[in-house]
Amino acid sequence: MSLDGRALTVHYVDVVQGVHYPAEVWFHEGRIAEVRPTVGRPAVWMIPGFVDAHIHIESSMLPPQNFAPPALVHGTVATVSDPHEIANVLGVPGVEYMIASGEQVPLSFNFGAPSCVPATAFETAGAVLDAGAVAALLDREDIRYLSEMMNFPGVIQRDPEVMRKIEAAHQRHKPIDGHAPGLRGPELDAYLAAGITTDHEAFTYEEGREKIEKGMKIIIREGSAARNFEALIPLLAEFPDMVMMGTDDLHPDDLMRGHINERVRRALEGGFPPMAVLRAATLNPVRHYGLTHGLAQPDDPATFVLVTSLDRHMKVLATYVNGRLAAAEGKPLTAPVEPQVVNAFAPRRLHPQDFQVPARDGKLRVIEAYDGQLITGEVFLEPRIIDGQAVPDPERDILKITVVNRYRPDAPPAVAFIRGFGLKRGAIASSVAHDSHNVVAVGTDDAALTAAVNAVMEAQGGLTYADPAQRKVLPLPIAGLMSHLPPRQVAHAYENLTRTAVEAGSTLKAPFMTLSFMALLVIPSLKLSDRGLFDGRRFQFVDGWV
């Protein structure tokens, strides 16, 4: 349905001027023609559409064309999207796949040029994007920024290849996203001096405040695994022009329930000024990244959202894009489309002996996973030894973790131990393993680990739970990251897998999401790559025994 030649009587919210008032809003050729102040108390409020200021679409397990329908239902009209997940698997063709998929739907996907493919030199990815490839991507008009610079040690030390990528963005006047968890003091100063403009990794108020005071914009991240809203939202009251909202990684079940609208509603419920809240979710990212979908101003594209109120009861009623209704009454008008399947997978068959860990003198160096956080800890624990092998001890929540190279079938699995997953039986495995996306698995015994990893290999990508009684698989045939199925079906399958893992003892809210970050070496402190146990503080491999 088009609005051309028509008017809506609404309570109009002007986030640019910081005012709101009853108005008739007129439309012409997909744009806002005029806003005429009126009187009365209109039943609905008109606000600019929401922007997710930092998200990896791949983590929704949906390609852009199928991510859009549920996102539009929640009032999201644009994303700032780093496609480095698929770039780590497929390289530049993966980025082009995401752009082409996004062009099929009425949601503005603003993709960046991935800056760290692979994320580090300590893991095996499916592709490499050097400074030349990054510069070529930045030359494109549909690449709007340099994606998160995760190699903060390389920036601080002024690594030549890293600096060439940063300089390429500066030359093209495109913003540079940051990724600097816990970075403060002189090291932060050195990082910022390179021209880094944002950070979505701050996880304490003090860290976020220091970064803002030094000129960095903070994206308050509230996703499926990392949840920093409560810690960082006080910054909105103090620095309303320096805050944005993002999800980073949002799994399909959470996307079906809500998106940026829920972060906005929570901020309103917390008593934060409505205009500041709306600006963080609309104006601030539009201005920072130079987005073109507009802010519901006269002459802007008629892209906006109708909501019931600007308080804790706020509900999205309808979403319009370029003057056409895109979603209403909780339903998208854009149907999901079966996408093209692209992949890079060298499947192999593993055996229980591949995961054995011969006993040695000393204690185990164990990864400690935390619910709702990407960071991990490091603990030293007495091993359980059986027949000369160090084995899992579910009673003490000491489980095995493995990362198996998906690109080279001859590479041996990396094996270590982890605490925090809580499984009492079985194993979970995933080909979503940031950032190189090898196969990662956690299990209570070698047989379960083998079954779970082999199920992912056979599907050439997916999520799996396996124990002696059952095996459940959600196939992800698009780069081992995304499904070809409709959004609701993917969400249902994911919820089923999560429920099965919880029934098997997992104490994590999102065990598969947490699992996917256990190979992310750039997040301290202890992680596992396909090449071994890695200390993210010292940025070097470490022994599994101490």
Q: For residue 225, is pLDDT > 90?
A: no
Task: Tell me the residue range of the domain where 527 lies.
Answer: 352-541
Same domain, 405 and 286: no
Is 309 contained in some domain?
no
Q: For residue 412, is pLDDT > 80?
A: yes
pLDDT digits (tens, 9 = 90+) for 265-313: 999 999 999 999 999 999 999 999 999 999 999 999 999 999 999 999 9
Same domain, 357 and 282: no
Strands (E), 371-509: 376-381, 384-386, 389-391, 398-404, 414-419, 427-430, 439-443, 462-467, 470-475
| End position of a domain, from candidates 248, 265, 293 | 293
Q: For residue 496, is pLDDT > 80?
A: yes
Q: What local confidence, expressed as pLDDT, does residue 246 receive? A: 98
Q: What local confidence, expressed as pLDDT, does residue 7 receive? A: 95
Q: Which whole number is the average pLDDT over 143-161? A: 95
172: CATH:
3.20.20.140
Instruction: Read off the pLDDT band of 104 (50, 70, 90).
Output: very high
Q: What local confidence, expressed as pLDDT, does residue 136 receive? A: 98
Q: Which whole number is the average pLDDT over 513-530? A: 94
Amino acid (one-letter) located at 208? G
Same domain, 381 and 479: yes
Instruction: Read off the pLDDT band of 417 (50, 70, 90).
Output: very high
Same domain, 385 and 239: no
Look at strands 364-369 and 414-419 and give their pairing. parallel
Q: For residue 457, is pLDDT > 90?
A: yes
On the 0-12 / 13-18 / 19+ scale of CB atoms within 10 A, 140 is: middle
pLDDT more than 90, % of the chain: 93
Strands (E), 84-215: 108-113, 143-149, 176-178, 198-199
Q: What local confidence, expressed as pLDDT, does residue 526 receive? A: 97
Q: What local confidence, expressed as pLDDT, does residue 335 receive? A: 75
Q: What local confidence, expressed as pLDDT, does residue 164 receive? A: 98
Is 243 contained in some domain?
yes
Q: Which whole number is the average pLDDT over 240-256? A: 96
pLDDT digits (tens, 9 = 90+) for 163-184: 999 999 999 999 999 999 999 9
Is 18 contained in some domain?
no
Mean pLDDT of the chain: 96
Q: Count CA atoms closer than 13 A to 341's CA, side-chain side.
A: 12
pLDDT digits (tens, 9 = 90+) for 320-353: 999 999 999 999 997 777 888 999 999 899 999 9
Per the CB < 8 A criterion, the answer to whether 205 and 231 are in contact is yes
Is 527 contained in some domain?
yes
Q: Which whole number is the average pLDDT over 57-72? A: 97
Same domain, 287 and 367: no
Same domain, 361 and 288: no
Q: 333: which DSSP letter?
A: S
pLDDT digits (tens, 9 = 90+) for 2-58: 898 999 999 999 999 999 999 999 999 999 999 999 999 999 999 999 999 999 999
Q: For residue 129, is pLDDT > 80?
A: yes
Strands (E), 129-263: 143-149, 176-178, 198-199, 217-221, 243-246
| Structural domain count of the chain | 2
Is 17 contained in some domain?
no
